[in-house]
Structures are given as structure tokens and as C-alpha cells.
């Protein structure tokens, strides 16, 4: 005879000021098939009001929304159990997972059983409604975007957007923060494939430091940075890491850099057999390889281009070129030329040593031979640089303002240039707090390396994180084909031309925001409001070409840790390939700025249809432990 004991227990959590009610069922443990069952009843939050009395709020446990309940019973035939065959049909027909198999469905059931019922032996291989609902909330089992590399990785490098950092060694602001290898490691572990190092002589002129030149930043030895790159380059992704060097060194120190690079990277280092590449290799060819990109040593450029040298002095020659470019672009150009950033110095030429000093020292041929991606400069004006045809490929760097101006006056030239060459865009020098700019202008014009301060903050950085969640977060995203195509008359994509909604099945992105949960696990009960539970709402932003940009938001739900909005929104699309869906949860505050409750950014082209789990991230882009939204995505 089996003895059954039923107990009702109320536990008061002094730390979080909550009470929890439990129903405890214990079967006789001497019997072979007995088990322990623990059911949670109602939970409450208590909030202190005016220091004299408590307000009591019942915490509502999350329940399946109607769409989830209806889908479950539709595929079970109104039965209470969903078997693997029924789950398989749901995955194919509702979730659009056409590649799914019965074995995949069985594996999902096993995963759910092990996570939810690890204390109980499951006698059947099926899901109950609560199990099915639990599964839908698991982002590793039911995420909103694909988690594997699935783009063609055999095209040349210029066919890809590349996850690129700016001043990758800085721990904080651009003027006085420490330089360290730690931010480089963090960037690589996130999947960043473009690392930037500023190289300067140390005080004794006999070694190389990495620092932001002419600022109060404390240096870090180059050797430390190179070893960090070697040890962490391929932890997140096997695809190539491009090191862009801003070189302010004398030739003897350039030779020392070459020795360091060869010694540390060995066979990992890729460098071409010829002086310049006719065509960039593909990410697939360059798997697990390190690539150097910088301007060739000054003597090499001077000897190679001796026929183009002007008899006038260097300073007056630069001024003439700047005047020429400004006259080409127009009067609007006069106000934003940033010369304080070291990126600009890299493109204009090294200003750390004099011409006499440079010419009196030997070349660094070994250093020159290690440069795989040559950095060029708009020597005769931007317009000419973009339109000049060359048999060789190169990289051109422009500041964020220069790209905006070029997009205004030479938009199609930018697109055409990036079909063969690499364009790098870097933040303006006045972004001393390591903030970032809006990356979409660069992407719309084919810029492969939109360089960001990864140690920074803000919505622009969230967009960068979102773009490179694409393609399995490998750091390389295949550019849309229209950015690489040319018409019969050499015409290319023009971002200024407003396109009609695409004549495909993907005309409208329909988004339904069901509910959110997890804040009560990750935050104290008074984090958002000292006197009551939070009042959450969700904001949705469609970011892309100007014609596609829109924003929506749900209603505010008061006093609810598990808000159920169940609202639907439509986003018409003209260029879905470049669109990002930015999601932000806020907590409404009547008297102050609304509190931040989490964010994420998803590439629209990667969205998986159906009901999906969407994990949220904090302001720095770190994934929250428990906070998720349940949403549905459809293309109409």
C-alpha cells in the first residue's frame, strides 16, 4: 500500500519581500515508482508605502497565450499530449522548418523532458501543453534567427560586410582610458573580425607601443596585443581576422614589427606572393588565417609614384587637394573635416617623423611584403579615387562625415567602388566618449568595414550587434546581390531611388508581440518601481533604407512582471536584405525617464517564421540571463 502525504507550505522570502505558497505531495519513497511533486501556488510582492504599511501584489504566473494553446490542440487533435509526429508537423507547417525531421522533433521532446522533469521518469515521449509552452520560450531550441553559417563563403572578401572594430585596444574613452589587450580579446570572442592597432615608437624609440596617439591614453606593448589575437582569433569564428595597422613607425621599427608578426603568427599569417592582389581571396580560402592591412612603407610609395610627385611642398600640395575636393563636392563640405583622428593621419600620410629622417633610413622590405590588403588614399580627391579604374584591389578609409558627403554627391560611385575594393568607415575624432554613428549609410553603399568602438554604447552599437547576428555570428555577412550587380550600361544600385514594395512573397513583415517574462528572476522587486510592480511596454523599430524605416509600440501594462500584450504590427519592406528589427522594452515612469528593460536587434533577412523566443540584452549588449519575449514573425 502506497502512503501519500499532502502538505501546504507558505515560505516568506525576507530578502526579496515575497511570499511563495507551495503544495507538496510525497509518495512513500520505499515504493519503486514513487516521486516527489512540488507545485507553486500564488506568489506575492510586498511594497513598502510611506514607511508605514505594505502593498500586496499577486505575481501572475506565465500562461500560454491563445495562439499557443490553439496551435497545441490543433496538432494534437484536442488531446492533452503532443507526440513527435505531431510536433514535427507543427515545426514544418507553422514554424516553416522545412528541413526538420522526425528525429529533430524527438530530440526536442527529450531536451524539454530533461530540463523540466529531471526528477521524474517520463513514461511516454510526448509534450503536455506546459511542456510545449516551455519549449517555445527556449531561445536555444526555438530562437528567432538561424544559428549556423549558411551564406556562400567562397566569394572574394569585398562581397561581405565584415565585423570591424575601431581603436580595438581602448578600454574606455578615446582621450584618457587605458590601452589593453583585454578589449581585443572581448571583441574577438564576440565575433569581431577586424581589429585596429595604432603603432607608435616607445619613449626610447627602440620598441613599439599600441596607443591612441597624442592623447593621455596609457600604452600597451604590441607584443601583448599580437599574442592576444593569436590566442583568441578563432574562438568564436574560423573566418579570417584582418588587423588594420595605423603605422607611425620608422623603417627600423617596421622591420621589428615584421619579425614579431612572423614569429607570433607563423603559418597563421596570410600574405600574397606578389606586391598587390589582383583579386581578394574568399573567407573560405582564408579560414584560420590572419591578414595585415595598412599603407605600404613610405619609401615604397614614394619610389613607385615618383612620376606623380609635385614640385611644391607637401603641405601646400595637401591644401591644394583639399580645396579641389571641396570645390568638387560643394559648399556643404566646409564644416566637418576632422583632422584630429589618427585614422585621418593614416590616410594622409605619417606625420610622426620628418621627410629627412625617413629618407635617411633603410626600407623595410619584409614588412612591406606582409601587407595583404593595401590601404590607399584619396590623393587626387575623393571623386577621382572612387572612379579610377585599377587592376589591383585596395582599401580606402573614410570618416563617417566623408561617407555621408560622398553618399550625397557620389552615391553610385561608392557602390561601384565597393564592388571591387574594400571601403572602411571610421568614427569622427570628436567622439571622445567612444560613441558610434549610424552604420546604415555605409552598408547601403556597400562599405564592408564599418568600424565601431566596441567598448562604446548606444543604439548604433546595438544595430551593429544585430547585423552580425546574421550568418551564425561568424563575423562575415554576404552583401545583398543587388549591391554587387551591374546593369548593361554599368549602372548600379542607387540607395536614393525609392523602390516599390518587393514583388515577392516577402512584401510585409508581420510581427506579433505576445508576452515577456524573466525580469522577476533577473531584477529585485523594487528595481523598476519602489512602490509597485513594473509597467512594461515594447517599442519596435524597423531600421533600413529610408523608405522602410518605421517605429511602433505596444500599450503599457501596469503592475505586471509577466506582461501579455498580444499585439500585432505590420512593416512594409522595399529592401528587406538591409533591414534590421530593433526591439526595446521600457518600463513606464510618469515622473522620470522610462526605465530600460532590455533590447535586441534582429536582421530581418535571417528571421525564422512562426512563434519564437527572443532573448533580450542589456545596454552593453550582454545577454540577460532570464529575460525573453515570445513573438511571432510572418512574411505576407
3-state secondary structure of 614: strand
3 state SS for 327-385: HHHCHHHHHCCCCCCHHHHHHHCCCCCCHHHHHCCCCCHHHHHCEEEEEECCCCCHHHH
Q: Among 122, 85, 124, 360, which residue's Cα sits nearest to residue 250? A: 360
Counting other chains too, the contacts that 521-530 makes at CB distance below 8 Å and 24 or more residues apart are 521/625, 521/626, 522/624, 522/625, 522/626, 522/627, 524/16, 525/16, 525/17, 525/18, 525/45, 525/47, 526/47, 527/595, 528/587, 528/595, 528/597, 529/47, 529/587, 529/589, 530/47, 530/48
3-state secondary structure of 586: strand
175-208 burial, b if ≥16 CB within 10 A, otherwise e? eebebbbebbbbbbebbbbbbbbbbbbeeeeeeb
Contact 185, 310 (CB under 8 A): no
**DSSP E strands: which ranges in 125-230?**
126-127, 160-162, 164-165, 194-201, 208-210, 220-221
Instruction: Copy the grid coordinates of residue 61.
Output: 504566473
Contact 532, 57 (CB under 8 A): yes
Catalytic option among 159, 166, 209, 465: 166
Instruction: Copy the grid coordinates of residue 620.
Output: 552593453
3-state secondary structure of 275: coil
295 phi and psi, to 5 degrees? -75, 145
**Catalytic (active site) residue 212:** yes
Quickly list H helices, 201-341.
Answer: 222-232, 251-265, 298-304, 314-329
For residue 290, the 8-state DSSP code is E
CA–CA gap between residue 581 and residue 602 (Å, rounded): 5
- What sign results for the dihedral spanned by CA atoms 200, 202, 208, 212? negative
- What sign results for the dihedral spanned by CA atoms 224, 225, 231, 232? positive
Cα distances (angstroms) measured from residue 174 to each of 192, 219, 304, 452: 19, 13, 35, 12
Catalytic option among 159, 212, 248, 374: 212
> Alpha carbon 181 to chain centroid distance?
20
407 phi and psi, to 5 degrees? -65, -35
Instruction: Copy the grid coordinates of residue 46.
Output: 510586498
3-state secondary structure of 25: strand
- Kindly list the catalytic residues: 166, 212
Amino acid at each position: 500500500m502506497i502512503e501519500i502525504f499532502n502538505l501546504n507550505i507558505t515560505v516568506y522570502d525576507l530578502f526579496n519581500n515575497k511570499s511563495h505558497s507551495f503544495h507538496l505531495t510525497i509518495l512513500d519513497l520505499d515504493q519503486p515508482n514513487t516521486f516527489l511533486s512540488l507545485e507553486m501556488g500564488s506568489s506575492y510582492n510586498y511594497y513598502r508605502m510611506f514607511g508605514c504599511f505594505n502593498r500586496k501584489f499577486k505575481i501572475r504566473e506565465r500562461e500560454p497565450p491563445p495562439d499557443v494553446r490553439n496551435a497545441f490542440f490543433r496538432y494534437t487533435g484536442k488531446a492533452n499530449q503532443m507526440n513527435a509526429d505531431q510536433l514535427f508537423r507543427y515545426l514544418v507547417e507553422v514554424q516553416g522548418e522545412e528541413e526538420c525531421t522526425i528525429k529533430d522533433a524527438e530530440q526536442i521532446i527529450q531536451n524539454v523532458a530533461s530540463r523540466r522533469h529531471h526528477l521524474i521518469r517520463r513514461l511516454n515521449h510526448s509534450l503536455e501543453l506546459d511542456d510545449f509552452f516551455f519549449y517555445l520560450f527556449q531561445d536555444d531550441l526555438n530562437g528567432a534567427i538561424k544559428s549556423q553559417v549558411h551564406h556562400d563563403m567562397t566569394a572574394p572578401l569585398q562581397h561581405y560586410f565584415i565585423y570591424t572594430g575601431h581603436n580595438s585596444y581602448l578600454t574606455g574613452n578615446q582621450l584618457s582610458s587605458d590601452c589593453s589587450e583585454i578589449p581585443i580579446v572581448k571583441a574577438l570572442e564576440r565575433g569581431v573580425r577586424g581589429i585596429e592597432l595604432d603603432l607608435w615608437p616607445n619613449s626610447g624609440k627602440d620598441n613599439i607601443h599600441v596607443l591612441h596617439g597624442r592623447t593621455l591614453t596609457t600604452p600597451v606593448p604590441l607584443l601583448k596585443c599580437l599574442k592576444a589575437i593569436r590566442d583568441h582569433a578563432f574562438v568564436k569564428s574560423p573566418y579570417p581576422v584582418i588587423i588594420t595597422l595605423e603605422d607611425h613607425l620608422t623603417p627600423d621599427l617596421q622591420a621589428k614589427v615584421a619579425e614579431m608578426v612572423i614569429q607570433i603568427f607563423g603559418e597563421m599569417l596570410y600574405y600574397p606572393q606578389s606586391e598587390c592582389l589582383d583579386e581578394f581571396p574568399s573567407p573560405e580560402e582564408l579560414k584560420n588565417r590572419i591578414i595585415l592591412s595598412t599603407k605600404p612603407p613610405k619609401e615604397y610609395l614614394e619610389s613607385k609614384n615618383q612620376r606623380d610627385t609635385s614640385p611644391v611642398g607637401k603641405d601646400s600640395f595637401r591644401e591644394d587637394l583639399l580645396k579641389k575636393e571641396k570645390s568638387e563636392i560643394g559648399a556643404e563640405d566646409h564644416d566637418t573635416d576632422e583632422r584630429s583622428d589618427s585614422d585621418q593621419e593614416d590616410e594622409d600620410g605619417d606625420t610622426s617623423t620628418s621627410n629627412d629622417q625617413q629618407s635617411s633610413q633603410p626600407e623595410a622590405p619584409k614588412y612591406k611584403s606582409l601587407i595583404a590588403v593595401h590601404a590607399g588614399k584619396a590623393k587626387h580627391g575623393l571623386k577621382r579615387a572612387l572612379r579610377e579604374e585599377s587592376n589591383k584591389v585596395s582599401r580606402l578609409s573614410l570618416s563617417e562625415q566623408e561617407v555621408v558627403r560622398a553618399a550625397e554627391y557620389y552615391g553610385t560611385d561608392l557602390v561601384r567602388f565597393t564592388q571591387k575594393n574594400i571601403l572602411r568607415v571610421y568614427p569622427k575624432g570628436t567622439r571622445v566618449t567612444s560613441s558610434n554613428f549610424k552604420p546604415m549609410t555605409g552598408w547601403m553603399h556597400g562599405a564592408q568595414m564599418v568600424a565601431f568602438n566596441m567598448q562604446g554604447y548606444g543604439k548604433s552599437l546595438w544595430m551593429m550587434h544585430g547585423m552580425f547576428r546574421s550568418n551564425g555570428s561568424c563575423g562575415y555577412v554576404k552583401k545583398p546581390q543587388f549591391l554587387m550587380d551591374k546593369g548593361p550600361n554599368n549602372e548600379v544600385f542607387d540607395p536614393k531611388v525609392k523602390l516599390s514594395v518587393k514583388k515577392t512573397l516577402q512584401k510585409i513583415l508581420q510581427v506579433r508581440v505576445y508576452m515577456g517574462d524573466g525580469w522577476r528572476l533577473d531584477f529585485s522587486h523594487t528595481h523598476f518601481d519602489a512602490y509597485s510592480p513594473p509597467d512594461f511596454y515594447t517599442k519596435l523599430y524597423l531600421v533600413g533604407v529610408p523608405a522602410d524605416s518605421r517605429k511602433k509600440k505596444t500599450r503599457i501594462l501596469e503592475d505586471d512582471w509577466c506582461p501579455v500584450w498580444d499585439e500585432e504590427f505590420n512593416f512594409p519592406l522595399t529592401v528587406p536584405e538591409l533591414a534590421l528589427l530593433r526591439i526595446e522594452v521600457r518600463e513606464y515612469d510618469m515622473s522620470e525617464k522610462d526605465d530600460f528593460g532590455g533590447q535586441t536587434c534582429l536582421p530581418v533577412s535571417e528571421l525564422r517564421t512562426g512563434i519564437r523566443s527572443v532573448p533580450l540584452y542589456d545596454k552593453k549588449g550582454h545577454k540577460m540571463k532570464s529575460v525573453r519575449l515570445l513573438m511571432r514573425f510572418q512574411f505576407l
